[in-house]
Amino acid sequence: MDQNDDGASQTYTATARALHWITALGVLVMLPLGLTMSYRGQVLNLWDGTTEALYSTHKLLGFLLLWLVAGRLVYRLVHGAPPDEPGLAPLQRWGAHLVHWLLYGLLIVVPLLGWIGVSLFPALEVFGLFSLPALAAPDEAAAGRVLGLHGKLALATGALAALHIVAALYHRFIRRDGVLRRMWPGRG
Ligand code: HEM
Ligand code: HEM
């Protein structure tokens, strides 16, 4: 275990907090970005420069996010987390751990499915400048299925993240305990 001891309660390390907030920001940008670009492309059938740029940005950001989350996961497994906030009911503790590990899993599986999907399509080009490495041989029918699953699991990630955010606000404003402070930037 490797965490800061601030006396009353323990916080995540500065690195863990930085990784959390960069990932959170990334996911909160990727969800509306994915929905907007696929609405323009699939629903409006509007394949102009803006739609292309949105797709390129989504692929590049998602690809970078995948490696960031992989690094974060390794960091988490090596350094652990501070002991649970005291005073939580067992159900709250288990629920929180379950949601956190599901989020970690989805943050790996969702971008990986996106990457496999664009490999199958194939649509690996980013801004017409370079291509992501291919993970599979072209197969357009399979691409449709994989990207469909990618979209559904991305929405599930959004729903879990919303639950997670509501829980953090509940701890901060209703229970008024130290849970949010454990992850807050700075020294809390
Ligand atoms: C955490 C990372 C990611 C999140 C949260 C995310 C989220 C989303 C969302 C919400 C959609 C729209 C789904 C829908 O319209 O139902 C989408 C579509 C898409 N994503 Fe991602 N994505 C991520 C990473 C990636 C990566 C790494 C790639 C490829 C390298 C990728 C490629 C695509 C493509 C091609 C679509 C469009 C599918 C279509 O138009 O039918 N995504 N993504
Ligand atoms: C406003 C947005 C957010 C707030 C206020 C927030 C708050 C928190 C807090 C307080 C913790 C620590 C919980 C504890 O002490 O046990 C935490 C952990 C975590 N959060 Fe968030 N979070 C936000 C957004 C997100 C998003 C968007 C994601 C990913 C989709 C995410 C993923 C995680 C994960 C995986 C952990 C577990 C950390 C670990 O134990 O390694 N969070 N968050």
* pLDDT digits 0-9 by tens, 2-20: 444 444 458 999 999 999 9
**Which tops the pLDDT comparison, 105 or 186?**
105
Q: Whose CA is nearest to atom 39 of ligand 1?
A: 38
Average pLDDT rounded to a whole number, residues 30-36: 98
Mutate to test the pocket of ligand 1, among 55, 150, 152, 155 (most ligand atoms within 8 A of CB): 150
Distance between Cα 63 and ligand 2 center (Å):
21
Atom of ligand 2 nearest to the CA of 179: 15
Q: Using alpha carbons, select from 160, 163, 167, 165 the residue that is nearest to residue 92.
A: 167
pLDDT on residue 131: 98
pLDDT digits (tens, 9 = 90+) for 88-101: 999 999 999 999 99
Q: Using CB atoms within 10 A of its CB, is residue 44 exposed (0-12), middle (13-18) or buried (19+)?
A: exposed
pLDDT digits (tens, 9 = 90+) for 139-150: 999 999 999 999
Q: Whose CA is nearest to atom 12 of ligand 2?
A: 183
pLDDT(188) > 60: no
pTM (2 decimals)?
0.94
pLDDT on residue 141: 98
pLDDT digits (tens, 9 = 90+) for 100-132: 999 999 999 999 999 999 999 999 999 999 999
CATH homologous superfamily of 2-182: Transmembrane di-heme cytochromes, Chain C (1.20.950.20)
Q: Where are the domains of the chain?
A: 2-182
Mutate to test the pocket of ligand 2, among 27, 100, 108, 163 (most ligand atoms within 8 A of CB): 100
Task: Compute the distance between CA of residue 146 and CA of residue 117 in angstroms, rounded to an integer.
Answer: 5
pLDDT on residue 186: 79
Give CA separation, 32 vs 77, 81, 94, 99, 148, in Å.
30, 30, 30, 21, 16
> Residues 20, 12: contact at Cβ < 8 Å?
yes
